[in-house]
Amino acid sequence: MCISLPASSRQERLDRASERARGTRCLLAAPWLLATPFAGAHTPQLADSAPPIAWSFEPWVLCCLLASLLIYVAGLSRLWRQAGVGRGIGIGRAAAFGGGWLALVLALVSPLDALGGLLFSAHMVQHEVLMILAAPLLVMGRPLAVWTWGLPRIWRTHAGRLARHRAVAATWDVLTHAPVAWALHGLALWAWHLPPCFEAALRSPAVHSLQHASFLATALLFWWPPLGGASRAGHGSAMLYLFTTMVHTGALGALLTFSTVPWYPAYGATTPALGFDLLEDQRLGGLVMWVPAGLAYLVVALAAAARLLQGEPAGAALATGIPVSRE
């Protein structure tokens, strides 16, 4: 015999069963919630769908990259036809420029660029690729001299006259003077990592482009004294130059790493979709700035120390002996 319960009684039983199920789930979850503050790693819940991450094909970026490579290849070919392969600009220097150019592609065209808009740590990787990988390799490739050789003869003549102009030469000497290059690069680093400036770059593509341009430009100036032959100081001064930069960039990275509050809340809208906690993402980005950059400065400083111990004159290893064009 089947007894039919009123609809209200059935609903009450369902509600009580649902409450018991919720209580059971809470009891099962309690140990995990209590253990969270002591866990070595945190795995946040992924969102239903992560934002798309693809290659970036900004026309002006692609045009600058292609033009810089084609002119360098043309200049190197012309130089080596006249002076001989490996003369003037060695094969190692040419390879360094190629490596620096590929690093620019990695930072500005590959999916790393899109990922940098979603994760602070990826953005820091992008900045370090620009400043401690691309910039020193490009400087070692001596691009200004080779690009001059890549120009048509009449343009090359005008470029040489412009470079020798008193105002241009004086400006270049000031910008590549070690204390000035050191200050400009440090100012760019600290200013752009102030939360209002950094978040402005996240909101505006134009400001973002200005941020990357200033990082790359000041990094090129920074690496010119120790690697490009512009230093008017000895190897000991170069070591101090690099060591102090390692200290202040490491300090900025440490502040980001050990901070207990997020500096850039704008990333809070995207980090959960990629399985990151906002503060953990910031700490990872701080470590990226702290450790790889510090190692790069340390390696170049140790190279300067080795040259100092060997008694090698400052700038001797940087001379290129580029011949004057007779075309």
Q: Is residue 116 part of a domain?
A: yes
Distance of alpha carbon 89 from the chain centroid: 27
pTM: 0.79
- pLDDT value for 313: 58
pLDDT at 88: 85
Selection from 127, 76, 72 nearest residue 101 by Cα: 72
> For 160-189, what is each residue's pLDDT tens digit?
889 889 999 999 999 999 999 999 999 999
Instruction: Look at residue 159 and tell me whether its pLDDT is greater than 80.
Output: yes
> CA–CA separation, 250 vs 190, rounded Å?
11
**Is 223 within the bounds of a domain?**
yes
Average of pLDDT values for 290-304? Answer: 87
CA distance 129 to 109: 12
**71 falls within a domain:** yes
pLDDT tens digits for 314-324? 554 443 444 44
Q: What is the DSSP string of 258-301?
A: H-SS-S-GGGGGTTGGGT--HHHHHHHHHHHHHHHHHHHHHHHH
Extended beta strands in the chain, E state: none
Indicate the helix (H) or strand (E) that contains 72. helix 59-83
So what's the pLDDT on residue 3?
Answer: 44
pLDDT per residue over 148-157, tens digit each?
A: 999 988 998 8
CA 46 – CA 251 distance, rounded (Å): 32
Q: Is residue 20 part of a domain?
A: no
Q: How many residues belong to the chain?
A: 327
Report residue 106's pLDDT band, with 50, 70 and 90 as the boundaries. Answer: very high
Contacts of 142 (CB under 8 A, 6+ apart): 89, 93, 97, 228, 320, 322
Whether residue 256 contacts residue 128, with contact meaning beta carbons closer than 8 Å, is answered with: no
Position 272 in a domain: yes
Domain of 181, in residue numbers: 53-314
Q: Which residues of 256-286 are buried (b: 16+ CB within 10 A; e: fewer)?
A: bbeeeebbbebbeebbbbbebbbbebbbbbb
Residue 207, token pair as written in the block: 């400001």
Q: Say how far apart CA 57 and CA 289 lie, in whole Å.
A: 26
Distance CA 55, CA 74 (A): 28
Question: For every residue of 10-32, which 3-state class applies, written as one string?
Answer: HHHHHHHHHHHHHHHHHHHHHHH
**The pLDDT of residue 261 is above 90:** yes
- Residue at 119 is within a domain: yes
Tally of structural domains, the chain: 1
Q: Within a domain: residue 32? A: no
| 189-240 residue pLDDT tens | 999 999 999 999 999 999 999 999 999 999 999 999 888 754 455 666 788 8
Q: Is residue 30 very low, low, confident or very high in pLDDT (cuts 50, 70, 90)?
A: very low
- DSSP three-state, residue 169: helix
147 found inside a domain = yes
Helices (H) and strands (E) counted in the chain, each on its own, are 14, 0
pLDDT above 70 covers a percentage of the chain that reads 76
